[in-house]
Each structure stands twice: as structure tokens, then as C-alpha cells.
Amino acid sequence: MDPRSKYPGPEYDGGDLEPPGLTGQMPQRPDHGEESYQGSGRLAGRKAVITGGDSGIGRAVAIAYAREGSDVLISYLPEEEEDARETAQLIEKAGRVAALVPGDIREESQCRAIVDRALSDLGGIDILVNNAAYQMAQPGGITDITDEQFDRVMKTNLYAMFWLCRAAVPHMQPGATIINTASIQAYQSSSALLDYATTKGGIVAFTKALAEDLADKGIRVNAVAPGPIWTPLIPATMPEKKVKSFGCDTPLGRAGQPAELAPAYVYFASQESSYTTGEVLGVTGGKPVS
């Protein structure tokens, strides 16, 4: 199949969404692999935690992990409950345990609670996917970024990742994996997303340093760097003009779909990547990550 036309290109219609945005409110809903992803037992018996697992990339990863045989805990904001329950139904339909943990990961106590729930509800934690993120485009640049926004982006994207890893690592056995969601913004940073791009660059550095730190424990750490991916976050945080043309500047000429990201997360979670740690895999529609 021609990758340029596998999914619709611009113009995209995300609807009039308020942050964080709900999938059901999008006139043009993303594809999370609900109908297409087929598992083959690559994660049989594993126990995974996915932040931001209610929608977008997180939902696609949750579906894929469940169909590969993993039980899944998803964390999400309380206002995303509707999306979270839809994701849980898809996990359970695959015959796996679905644990739901609402709350704001900007609080360290919430990050510890997520790990505690994984231990109690799933019986352990083998895979940690730090996927939740916040962005808010500011076309005016740095002078339009408030202290409140900067703090929210840093706490959601960086602090929470640190807190979750610190809480989870003591409970992870050799063979466990940590997968962080970076971004094309770490390599091709946009002025309108200055604070978000800063955190994504930090995630790349954190991934490489943590991989070295945990190698002697047999725990691998890698990252996926998505390009422009069609999720509720886009229409909820970007100007309408940018939404309509979202992804058209990629070599493939369109935005990616969450379903196109899931296989990368499965690869890093499975034994197929047993000799890979400290790496960043770009899924960007052809934009370079270097």
C-alpha cells in the first residue's frame, strides 16, 4: 500500500476541542488500530503501565499490548474518563486485565500511586511507557508563555517521567523495559512549541542516561520520537489553520495515525529488541531525527 495515501491527508477536522480533548468529540477520529492490529503473543504474561493511555498514541499502544498478551494499566486525567473507559473495554475484549488510574501526574504522589496500583492490580510491572504529555502552541513565542504554562509542561513531560521511573525501577526485574515518548520537536523544534520542544529534548537525554544507568540491572530504556500524529491533543492545543494543514510538511505529505506508532512500542517492549537500549526510533513521516 502506498504510505502517502494509506490515511487521509489535509485538510483535517478536529472539531472545537478544549484541552485535553476527547476522542469522541473529534469529527475526524484517529485510527488506534481497533480494527487492524493483530497480536502474536510477543508480550504474553507481561504487565504494562502506560501514562496517557486513554487516547491517541497511548490508546494505540494499550490495544497493541493487550493483543500481544499483556495486562495493561492506563493513567489519565479525570476529565478523560470517557476515553479511558473505551480503552479499557478494548483491553478487556482482548482478554487482558485493564486497570484504570485517574489523576494528575504533575503530583509525585500520583506517580507513586500509579506504580502501587500496578503492583496490586497487575501483580508487578514489566513495561513502563512514559507517554503522557502536555503542549499549548503559542505563535507569539517566548513572551506568550506564562509561568503557569511552562510549569505545567515541565511537570507533565519531565518531572512525571522522572518520578515514575524512580518509583518503578526498584520493582522491575531483569528483562523489564522503559519506553519514553520523545518527539520530532527534540530535533526540529518549533518556536510556537518552545517549552514542549525543550522537554522533548530532555526526554532524549534522559533516555540515554537512564539506559546506561540501568543496563547492569538488565533493564532496557528506549524512546520513540513521533512526528505529527493525529490525536485529540492537536485540535485542542493548536490554531485552527495549523490543524487543517497538520502533517502536510512531511515527505509523506500527511499526519500519522496512532496505529502507525504502536508497532514501535511493541518492538521496544518485546524480546525482539533485546540488544537495543538507549536508542530513539523516529516515526515521523520522513522527517529526520538526527
- Whole-angstrom distance, CA of residue 25 vs CA of residue 35: 20
SS3 23: helix
Which of 65, 134, 187, 196 does the annotation list as catalytic?
196
Question: What's the count of helices (H) and strands (E) in the chain, helices before strands?
Answer: 9, 7
CA distances to 8, 141, 194, 285 from 5, in Å: 6, 34, 31, 12
SS3 93: helix
| Residue 76 a catalytic site member | no
SS3 70: coil
**Which sign does the torsion angle of CA 120, 103, 220, 274 carry?**
positive
- Whole-angstrom distance, CA of residue 81 vs CA of residue 53: 11
Contact 115, 165 (CB under 8 A): no
C-alpha dihedral over 270, 276, 278, 283, to 10 degrees? -70
* Strand 47-51 with 220-226, pairing: unpaired
List phi, psi (to 5°) of 283.
-125, 85
- Whole-angstrom distance, CA of residue 73 vs CA of residue 91: 10
Contact 221, 214 (CB under 8 A): yes
- Whole-angstrom distance, CA of residue 166 vs CA of residue 164: 5
Q: And the C-alpha cell for 284?
A: 515521523
- In angstroms and rounded to an integer, the radius of gyration of the C-alpha atoms of the chain is 17
Active site residues: 196
